[in-house]
Structure 1
Amino acid sequence: MGETNNNPFKFKLGAQTNVGCVRTNNEDNFVVSADLNAGEWLLPRDCHTVFTLGNKGAMLVVADGMGGLEAGEIASRIAVDTMKEFFSADKITDEIVKDASTIRKYMYEAVVAADNAIKRKSREEKSVKSMGTTLVAAWLFDGYANIIWCGDSRGYLFNPVSGLAQVTKDHSYVQELVDSGRLLPEYAFDHPDNNIITRSLGNPQKAANPDFVRLPLQEGEVILLCTDGLNSMLRDEEIEAVMQETSNEIDTCTKALIQGALDLGGHDNVTVVLCQIVPEENKPSVQDMQQTVSTFTEKERKKPLRKFVLWTVAFVFVLLLACLAWSFSTAWQNKIIQWYEQTVK
């Protein structure tokens, strides 16, 4: 893999996890690497730090553990550690990043390896026999976000103009009801069984079966990865409203989303990872474009009014000329009549 990188994308990172208002331990885990080539898995101290996408990309991983005692925490930690291992700088070769299919294959292998590692740990230690975890990961590479997931931890894409879009589909019982037409989507949020997942890592009866999506990176957009501790408390339109207000400040946005979940009860651990694609300097941002569209639309709205005023003024002017002409004509008619009468007499 060459060391040159012509990719212009720059980005900011933000992440936070919270135990919530009910749980006593946090079974969520996350890791981020702004530059896989550097091998650092740390959040920047300054949320305003702008990174340039390196030639091996960046990685975001979120996992939501399940199980008794600390088992869920162990499972989610194994999952993120396995992803870190697979995406160490020396493991990412030219063959892996050859095209979209090889990238997907490698990410699939990483998730399967995490699943096997959790199962192996369960067999070795009886105290963590029933542990498992969900996983969602985004590999930002060569102008794309390659997202893989297993379970109901979600990936969203936020655009200040078009809004929020869920780009993953939950592996859950309620989602299956929606897909089969037995439940309307608007009733999914409040369904009593919306915590039942159908795929996960660590399930001894099933092999991990993740899904994958590949999205082009767009300047001004924000990638959001989260555990269901966020989207089980906040509806998508509420998440969108928070991001519309705060997405320009990644740290503020991260904290606001977490706080929103806590304010509504915080029934579960909640984890949020954000990545904002920063617009190039001297190039209009998505927000600027939104303002331009808004201003243009406002001008278009004013055009009919201006046309009405101009036509009204023109009509009044023509009417005034007609009146003057009529008055002038009447005066001359009266003079002619007076001359005729005087001449005849």
Structure 2
Amino acid sequence: MRQVFGALKQTTTMDCQQLTTCESRVYLNVDMLEPEVFELAGGSVAVLSARKPEKTTANQDAAAVVAAGENAAVLIVADGCGGMANGEQAARIAIDSLTNHIATAAAAGESLRTAILDGIEEANRQIIELKNGAGATLAIVQIENGEARPYHIGDAQIVMVGGRGKVKLLTTSHSPVGYAMEAGMLEEQEALDHEERHLVSNYLGSEAMHVEVGSVRKVSTRDGLLVASDGVLDNLLMDEINGFLKNGTAASAAAKIAGVAMQRMQTALEGQPHKPDDLTLIVFSQRGKRAK
């Protein structure tokens, strides 16, 4: 079963909700004021998606949370490429394909990894067949039995931080600027200010699309995990994200990260990142989960 939110500006309660196995919550063209929170995969998941300030057209970001078993979940963020036609359509196709494949696999007790990869391939094929220039980037985390595996395409990114602030996972943006940072040719502030930061070299809707599948990481009790579109990563420094993820619950971290990002989008200040864009994030943490 799938529940879809779309085209509404909404507030949400901070109470944890439950999803049954094979059920998903999907966010399409939403403009949320607060995160929605779920108990899932042994922890809490907080989701927030919003249009950039003063934007009246569609939010090209989309997200989904899929309950894939008693101790399993899949977290998905898709970002329609703003410089291409029909980015919202591409993000929607990606979410639909992935949630359908994952729910089917979960119901049958089949491999989530295979379902994720098949869902990505089908979405890429569908977007190419549109022949309208649509494209999207994608970041996914599969959480299963206390372990997380990342998948990503483009500049939507995944970050995992330990309770003492150690960065345990940071995906590399598939872009010239992202690769330059990885090689040590650009510092973080230089990358944030770079005129070509918006360019991506890998995206859904391309014949050359490829999926970067990361190694499995154990998720410890005090770890914080973030899956986010570039609307988040372009408006906060990594030290700031680190600080929010290593302290507090999934709900509080999501609210604080989104709050800072939206504030900076509205006002450009010297020394602070500023890039107005649609924003979507999912935070997972076992910190603050209710005792069973």
Q: TM-score range by the shorter chain?
A: 0.7 to 0.9
What letter matches 1:171 in structure 2?
H
Secondary structure of 1:255's counterpart equals helix
By how many angstroms is 1:230 displaced? 0.7
Displacement of 1:223 in angstroms is 1.1
CA contact (8 A) 2:42 2:286 kept: yes
Partner of 2:252: 252
> Which letter does structure 1 place at the counterpart of 2:213?
F
> Which of 75, 79, 102 is 2:94 aligned to?
79
- Name whichever structure is richer in helix by fraction: 1
| Identity rate, percent | 21
Is residue 183 of structure 1 aligned with residue 198 of structure 2? no
Distance 1:145 1:274 in 2: 13
Shift of residue 241, structure 1, vs aligned partner: 3.0
Question: Aligned partners of 1:281 and 1:16: how far apart in 2?
Answer: 21
For 1:300, the equivalent position in structure 2 comes to: none
CA distance 1:114–1:252, shift in 2 (3 Å):
same
Rounded Cα–Cα distance in structure 2 between residues aligned with 1:261 and 1:83: 27
Q: Is the 8 A contact 1:36 1:89 kept in 2?
A: no
Q: Is residue 2:278 matched to residue 1:269?
A: yes
1:68 and 1:280 mapped to 2: Cα distance? 40
Aligned to 1:265, what secondary structure does the other structure show? helix
Cα root mean square deviation, aligned: 2.8
> Does 2:25 match 1:10?
no
Distance (whole Å) between structure 2 residues aligned to residue 92 and residue 221 of structure 1: 29
2:221–2:287: 8 Å Cα contact kept in structure 1? yes
Matched, 1:238 2:271: no
Tell me: CA distance 1:173–1:227, structure 2 relative to 1, closer, same or farther (3 Å): same
Among candidates 219, 222, 233, match of residue 220 of structure 1? 222
Please report the TM-score for the alignment, with normalisation by the length of structure 2.
Answer: 0.74
The answer to whether residue 143 in structure 2 is matched with residue 140 in structure 1 is yes
The equivalent of 2:62 in structure 1 is: 29
CA 94–65 in structure 1, closer or farther in 2 if over 3 Å, else same: same
Correspondence for 2:51: 19
Letter in 2 for 1:224: L
CA distance in 2 between counterparts of 1:116 and 1:67 reads 20
Shift of 1:144: 1.2
Q: CA deviation at 1:249?
A: 3.3
More strand by share: 2
Instruction: Using the TM superposition, give the Cα deviation of residue 185 of structure 1 relative to its aligned residue in structure 2, in angstroms.
Output: 4.9
Q: Which of these two proteins has the greater Rg computed from alpha carbons?
A: 1
Q: Give the Cα–Cα distance (whole angstroms) in 2 for the partners of residues 134 and 92 of structure 1.
A: 27
Q: Secondary structure of the residue that 1:31 maps to in structure 2?
A: strand
Look up the SS of the partner of 1:264 in the other structure.
Answer: helix
Q: Is residue 2:208 matched to residue 1:207?
A: yes
Normalised by the size of structure 1, how large is the TM-score? 0.63
- Encode CA deviations 1:77-132: one digit per residue, 9 max, x unaligned: 110111101101446656636xxxxx3x5533322221112112x13xxxxx0110
Q: Distance in 2 between matches of 1:68 and 1:188?
A: 19
Q: Which runs of 5+ in 2 are unaligned?
A: 1-20, 22-40, 267-275
**Residue 116 (structure 2) pairs with residue 107 (structure 1):** yes
Q: Residue 65 of structure 2 contacts residue 75 of structure 2 at CA under 8 Å; is this kept in 1? A: yes
| Structure 1 counterpart SS, 2:286 | strand
What letter corresponds to residue 16 of structure 1 in structure 2? L
Q: Distance in 2 between matches of 1:17 and 1:145?
A: 22
